[in-house]
Amino acid sequence: MTRSILELNAHQIDVLKEVSNIGAGNAATALAQIIRRPIKMTVPTVRILSFDKVADVAGGADAIVAGILLEVSGDLQADLLLLLPWSQASDILAIMLAGGKSSFLELDEMEISALEELGNILANSFLTALSKFTKLRFSPHVPSLAIDMAGAVLNLPLARLGESVEQALVIDTIFHEQQQSVDGYFLFIPRPQDLKEFLHHLEVVSR
């Protein structure tokens, strides 16, 4: 029987917090090089949520969000999903492109590319840190952007990984640029049958 990710112990949570903070620091460095301005990222909380509760963090299933999805293969299969409430996605676009507010109905190619690159930077930074800690090999695929209601965006990993997905690791992520802060949510969703191996590798880190 697959062990539930909801049963993570304190050691595993500590490992995930450290991995997330290292990944956020590396992502901020890469993002600052792109926008040519200092930017910081912090991870105040790493939470384990049942999958049917994830939409609530972004304002509910009907809230419009930007979702940047990357498939992950290698030693395990998973999906990484950067979930941004649209007001926050618009703010991060203004930071990245030094422009005004964007409409989700009229995104141009540059704005789409910027959001996909943001997801790509975060995913690769997180996976690199996670790989160093767990010794697992991860291969992220090309990111894809979906602008839709949160419930519809969250159906994308269910379609790929299977309806049996019940939990997600939710990494609260805050972008800081000058006096402005932008909130986002970074989801790590392993395939249900890969949970046991993932949890085992977290358990043995630093022990």
Q: What is the CATH number of the domain that holds 88?
A: 3.40.1550.10
Residue 181, domain extent: 5-204
Residues 138/72, Cβ–Cβ less than 8 Å: yes
Q: What's the pLDDT band for 107 if we cut at 50, 70, 90?
A: confident
The pLDDT value given to residue 200: 78
Q: Structural domain tally of the chain?
A: 1
In a 10 Å sphere around its CB, with 0-12 CB exposed, 13-18 middle and 19+ buried, how is residue 160 labelled? middle
The pLDDT value given to residue 2: 43
pTM: 0.87
